[in-house]
Chain A
Amino acid sequence: MTAEIETQVRSLIEDNFLFREDRTSLSDTESLIDAGLIDSTGILELVAFLEERFKIEIADADLLPENFDSIHRIVAYVARVRATAPSAS
């Protein structure tokens, strides 16, 4: 299941924040903020995308870089939320 989430997260980031796969290859652990992909307004877009794509609800208290600031962290977060609320997935 994690592999499937990872594919989806990567394509979501590539389509909506990186916009390209060719030039700037983004590693799974790279900070989205440091890479210039997410600014102070972009993070809320990312949250909205994730909620819609994975049918999850993201609590305000979870809005932390440790949950969302790399593909790897997002995948882990989504997997965790889904595991604790399986009915939503």
Chain B
Amino acid sequence: MCGIAGFYGTPDTPVPRALILRRMIGAIAHRGPDAQGVFDDDRAALGHVRLSIIDLATGAQPMPNGDRTIWVTFNGEIFNYVELRQDLVSRGHSFRSASDTEVILHLYEEMGPDCVDVLNGDFAFALWDSRQDLLLLARDRMGVRPLFYAARNGCLFFASEVKALLQVPGICAELDPIALDQIFTFWFPLAPRTSFRDVFELPPAHVLIARPDRIAVRRYWCLRYPDAGDDCALNGQGEEAIGQELGALLADATRIRLRSDVPVGAYLSGGLDSSIIAALAHKIAPARLQTFSMTFGSAEFDESGYQQEMVRALEATHVSFACGDTDIGRVFPTVIRHGEQPILRTAPAPLLALSDVVHRSGFKVVLTGEGADEIFAGYDIFKEAKIRRFWARQPQSRSRPRLFKLLYPYLPGLQAQSQKYLEAFFGHGLADTSDPLYSHLPRFRNTSAAKIFFSDALLESIRGYDAVAELRESLPAEFDRWHPLSQAQYLETAHLLPGYILSSQGDRVAMAHAVECRFPFLDHRVVEFAARIPPELKIRGLREKHILRESARTLVPSTISHRAKQPYRSPDSLSFLGANQPDYVDDCLSTSELAANGWFDSRAVGKLVRKCRAQAPAGFRDNMAFVGILSTQLWQREFVRGARSLVPPVSPALVA
């Protein structure tokens, strides 16, 4: 796990190439504290910061092929590199290192850019083929590892994080109003768009091929589901056979993710998914497992009882981090610095603090249960859509809307609702069951309510733009033929997962402290298999992740395997006001700073802050708005206003 950066072409600046490259990798040094390396042949420049995990001795990068005509700079892991290497050796390739990096070079020699098809891993790499004058950028299927690029005056710049691109003279941070509108609709910008105007993300499962005269971006893998009612997807296998095959796949996905020359730990949330992964790791590698978790003071968020139960079951060595009332506010600006986009929730903050604990415990790699809720339908949004469809079939039913109370036992506010209010809240758009976005429209609508704070100027700059329409247009051609659950799962897996979960709550907060997360549930073999499992085996009645629970019955204690999903949440506006208020909040939300940035109506924000101060808001909208506004203001401080101090003007002495 590492960071990469570089460029292809000639930068339009008097600043020397070597200095630009050094500055770029300097900006992401946190991703790779163990070593730095650069390559430049005046056509392409590649940089690398290394977190040594595999082949500590000879895995230095950028790494060339045998005749030094092809070079690669690589972030991530190719988990099946052992098998790929054996294949390549049997076909006559000779290796100089034991690294997974070298496997990419040999595969490229044989297959060209199609080499990504045989990689099983979490990767982002840049490969320079000097013979063909071609630069290849590639990113893993699910979007675990980040990769950004920007073209300026015929030169293509790329990096693991945008902050490295901002080191390039001529690339400046400017918030993209469309991206902000998307964040206040979906919680993230739609790739390839980023929060930064004219800076792009290489979307998951895509390669970019740059040649002297053109740049082409193409998709090499797609998440696909069978047509609704297609029972042949898994050859008509019964539930038990499917469960067994799933168990075997998951065990193998975990096994190859334990490949490492440094010890691998595991996160334990107390929920089903991380418990399964930790239990599999314990079974595969009998040495004592090191686990990490976080606890909260408030019972509303805390899961420590279940964590302790798993620790006892696994006889693990456990370290837990108690997330205190002031921790979220304390680390929140750091979350924005690393995540590089405004966010509507504070959930990344405790994870950033946790990765610090992992780092200080001497660990570089952890397994997590991330991904299971997307691919096995664990999130409440799936069940909520199911209940809404069930109710829409008999809209006059009084008992069907009562199911929403069953769905949200952890929301005391909702439990107090009258029948009529439940119907009013969940009944919006009830009859539009043929809408392809049916499952997500309530979320998009509730999130968009926070746009009430947008300034007139911002509204003017996005006039006529419809984020939901753009999403609708981007759906795959066969989307309409899928089962409603598959459609909802696609939206979560192809969009929310890379756009928010794996970035703001994943790579970026983990790599802030040089920790690599590995996700067995996101092995593409598991993802493809899960997509073919019939919807009724994923949500049985209202029991989410049914097939996963069944396949894990012997693996985890029954209190865990039967446990209802508790979504991972953390305190929102409460973390920033009252006794816990961090010192930056008043300035960030001051009338003058709001007006200077121009994104939000300072008077309306003033009312929101007054309301939140008077009593902690219970409402989702107010909490999302508060966190979204504060994080946008912090983003502006970090990348636009602070940019001058972070990137000093080039002094004459440094210009060759």
Contact = CB atoms under 8 A, between A and B. Distances in A.
A33 B425 CA distance: 7
B414 A40 contact: yes
B171 interface: no
A45 interface: yes
A44 B413 CA distance: 7
B51 to A, nearest CB: 42
Interface string A22-44: 01100000000110110111111
Given A41-B414, A65-B421, A15 B611 contact: yes
A41 B453 contact: no
A63 B456 contact: no
A64 B417 contact: no
Given A33-B428, A42-B619, A45-B618, A16 B417 contact: no
Nearest to A34: B428
A19 B607 contact: yes
A56 to B, nearest CB: 17
Given A42-B619, A43-B417, A65-B421, A19 B448 contact: no
B418 A20 contact: no
A18 interface: yes
Given A20-B452, A69-B424, A40 B611 contact: no
B608 to A, nearest CB: 6
Contacts of B622: 42
A66 B422 CA distance: 13
Looking at B424, B446, B607, the one whose CB has the most chain A CB atoms below 10 A away is B424
Interface in A45-89: 45, 48, 60-61, 63-66, 69
A42 B621 contact: yes
Contacts of B418: 60-61, 63-64
A77 B421 CA distance: 16
A36 B424 contact: no
B618 A16 contact: no
Contacts of B615: 45, 48
Contacts of B619: 39, 41-42, 45
A68 B205 CA distance: 49
Contact of B421 (A34, A36, A63): A63
A29 B601 CA distance: 26
B457 to A, nearest CB: 12
B414 A65 contact: no
B222 interface: no
B635 to A, nearest CB: 22
A61 B619 CA distance: 21
A23 B456 CA distance: 9
Interface in B508-535: none
A36 B425 contact: no
Interface in B399-413: 411, 413
A31 to B, nearest CB: 8
Nearest to A31: B424
A84 B375 CA distance: 56
B420 interface: yes
B420 A44 contact: no
Contacts of A20: 452, 601, 603-604, 607
Given A16-B611, A20-B603, A33-B424, A41 B456 contact: no
Contact of A44 (B452, B603, B610, B618): B618
B228 to A, nearest CB: 30
B584 interface: no
Contacts of A34: 428
A65 B401 CA distance: 15
B571 to A, nearest CB: 14
Contacts of A19: 452-453, 604-605, 607-608
Contact of A18 (B426, B428, B452): B452
B449 interface: yes
Contacts of A39: 425, 446, 449, 619-621
Contacts of A61: 418
A34 B621 CA distance: 14
B617 interface: yes
B449 A63 contact: no
Nearest to B427: A33
Nearest to B625: A19
Contacts of A37: 449
Contacts of A16: 607, 611
Contacts of B601: 20
Interface in B408-457: 411, 413-414, 416-418, 420-422, 424-426, 428, 445-446, 448-449, 452-453, 456
B452 A41 contact: no
Closest 4 CB pairs of A and B: A36-B449, A42-B619, A19-B604, A63-B418
Interface of A: 15-16, 18-20, 23-24, 33-34, 36-37, 39-45, 48, 60-61, 63-66, 69
Given A16-B607, A20-B607, 19 more contacts: A15-B611, A19-B453, A19-B604, A23-B456, A33-B424, A36-B621, A39-B620, A40-B413, A40-B414, A40-B417, A40-B422, A41-B411, A42-B619, A45-B618, A61-B418, A63-B418, A63-B421, A64-B418, A65-B424
